[in-house]
Amino acid sequence: MDRIYNEEYGMIKVLLADDHSIVRAGLRRIVEESGDMRVIAEAADGREALRQVEENKPDVAVVDISMPGLDGLEVISQLKAMYPELPVLVLTMHEEGQYVVRAVEAGAMGYITKQSAPEQLVIAIRKVLEGSRYLTDEATEALALRIAKGEKGQTPLDLLSMRELQVLRRLALGKTNREIAKAYGISIKTVDTYRLRLLKKLNLRNNAELSRFAIQNKLIEP
């Protein structure tokens, strides 16, 4: 089957995963105005995104990074493990190189920001469906800069594993250890181990300082 056109609908089937309904409505309009794409499912959180992929078998998944439940990075990792042929495109407000690198490492084929021109979304969907990588100029520059810096140019965030980064974000958002444990299917004790590891790696003293660090590094909105 030609990956560009789905046999059943004659159109590209797209999943939209974003926790803001207004954003999803705008994205749906952009996608469906292309003429050869159809939004077959939407998800407001990470777990729902995984369910919708299982039930609806989209050709492309468009995923935000900041979502409740499982965040976008975890969704990408799980999708690539379960559906390695499914192209995943990240559409997010985060322009920082930290997120670009993590998303690509997790398995994303494309990375664009919500500040991008609407037509970039349509172009990006087509590109990743063809098997090509698609990054905005800003994302490409950020990725190249991170690679050029190498180990000598590492920031404190570079020292964190993907799971540590995810736990950091949730702690900074005020989530309890129990809530974080439930979201990631790990024990409360394991969450506390991650918390203590974060404090040590980042040379911080408590959760309040973790929150300030997350805001300063644009991991969460103030």
pLDDT tops 80 at residue 21:
yes
Domains and CATH numbers, the chain: 12-148 (3.40.50.2300), 155-216 (1.10.10.10)
Angle at CA 207, nearest 5°, toward 102 and 187?
70
Say what the pLDDT of residue 23 is. Answer: 93
What's the pTM?
0.77
pLDDT tops 70 at residue 181:
yes
Q: Of 47, 186, 27, 194, give the one whose Cα is nearest residue 116.
A: 27
Say what the pLDDT of residue 152 is. Answer: 52
Is the model more confident about 99 or about 7? 99
Q: What would the pLDDT profile of 96-149 be if each residue is shown by its tens digit?
A: 677 888 898 899 999 998 888 889 999 999 999 999 999 988 788 877 776 676
Concatenated DSSP letters for 15-77? EEE-S-HHHHHHHHHHHHTTSSEEEEEEESSHHHHHHHHHHH--SEEEE-SS-SSS-HHHHHH
pLDDT tops 50 at residue 7:
no
Say what the pLDDT of residue 151 is. Answer: 53
Mean pLDDT, all residues of the chain: 87
Residue type, 148: A
pLDDT tops 80 at residue 169:
yes
What is the band of 3 on the pLDDT scale with cuts at 50, 70, 90? very low
Collapse the DSSP code of 85 into the 3-class scheme (helix H, G, I; strand E, B; otherwise coil) and give the result.
coil
Say what the pLDDT of residue 194 is. Answer: 95
What is the band of 161 on the pLDDT scale with cuts at 50, 70, 90? confident
Q: Of 194, 102, 103, give the one whose Cα is nearest residue 155.
A: 102
What is the biggest distance separating any 2 CA atoms in the chain, rounded to whole angstroms?
56
Give the pLDDT mean for 144-168.
75
